[in-house]
Structure 1
């Protein structure tokens, strides 16, 4: 059975992110290899992954080589560091779908790169990236940046169950 996953902010090839976010890697090559391995440890060939932006700082050829190694059907929602490249560039490196705007998933989850304004009375959840190690308070936000999840994509069920648990508290 196909699973659906969510993740953001890999920053493949971005050596400065190691220091910016205190990532536990000696260099960018070690980081990139670990992130590919982590992705494939949970995502199967038939699964779907929503990547919520800031995927790669590498050139076309190197980004394409990474995308080819990653399991699953890959849908990217462009992040602030991705938007300098065209939709066709992202499709050509191997993404199956490219979104330039947020997506509403299962009529309840807003998938975005940057967190969006959500007042506490809204019944929706914003699944987002962009803020890396930080977290917004409240049941309306779910941060899927790699730093929070050992660089592994999360299943829809993990997110849904976490949201339900936070509402029960």
Structure 2
């Protein structure tokens, strides 16, 4: 039996060309950006591993639907989506392109899980309080691109965080130094 690992990340913004100058991200083109993320993802994640993506998976979802489906199919692991602000249409519904992807579970706006016996609250947005916070629960979030520091046992897991470096990371990697 193969050991299954869990990984976390947020804010890949696949196909989002403006991210290259807004963040900035160190890539010459959005194609280079996306290929780097695919390679980094697949270097860490095996086919049976679990990946929790904490929102803003891709951009230009209507215009680049086939490209996004192709990228999704190339990414290893059983993928779960915690919905971010760029993952929804103008009415706040999950964008049809993302809804059509083969997620391992229905995409949710927030999710509670366990990893290595630790309680973990996952959301695209940073919370200042979260379920079981006062009983040692952790909180992973994205959205803020490193501009909103965590409190207590919370932290930004966006791909543009220096220790995430565009690669899905394990709970142990992400909580090093939080305790």
The verdict on a shared fold, with TM-score over 0.5 as the criterion, is yes
Residue 88 (structure 1) shift: 6.0
What are the residue-to-residue correspondences of 1:14-25 with 2, within 5 Å? 14-25=16-27
Equivalent residue number for residue 166 of structure 1:
178
Deviates more, 1:128-137 or 1:93-102: 93-102
Kindly report the root-mean-square deviation, in angstroms, between the aligned alpha carbons of the 2 structures. 2.0
Equivalent residue number for residue 29 of structure 1:
31
Give per-residue Cα distances to partners, 1:139-158, cap 9 Å, x unaligned. 33111100111100011232
1:114 aligns with 2:125: yes
Structure 2 gaps, min length 5: none
Q: Pick from 86, 102, 112: which aligns with 2:110?
A: 102
Q: Cα distance 1:116–1:42, how it changes in 2: closer, same or farther (>3 A)?
A: same
Contact 1:127 1:143 in 2 (8 A): yes
Determine helix, strand or coil for the equivalent of 2:121. strand
TM superposition score normalised by structure 1: 0.87
In 1, the alpha carbon distance for the partners of 2:40 and 2:122 equals 22
- Provide the aligned length of Structure 1 versus Structure 2: 163
In 2, the alpha carbon distance for the partners of 1:95 and 1:153 equals 16
Determine helix, strand or coil for the equivalent of 1:33. helix
Higher relative helix content? 1
Deviates more, 1:104-113 or 1:68-77: 104-113
Determine helix, strand or coil for the equivalent of 2:178. helix
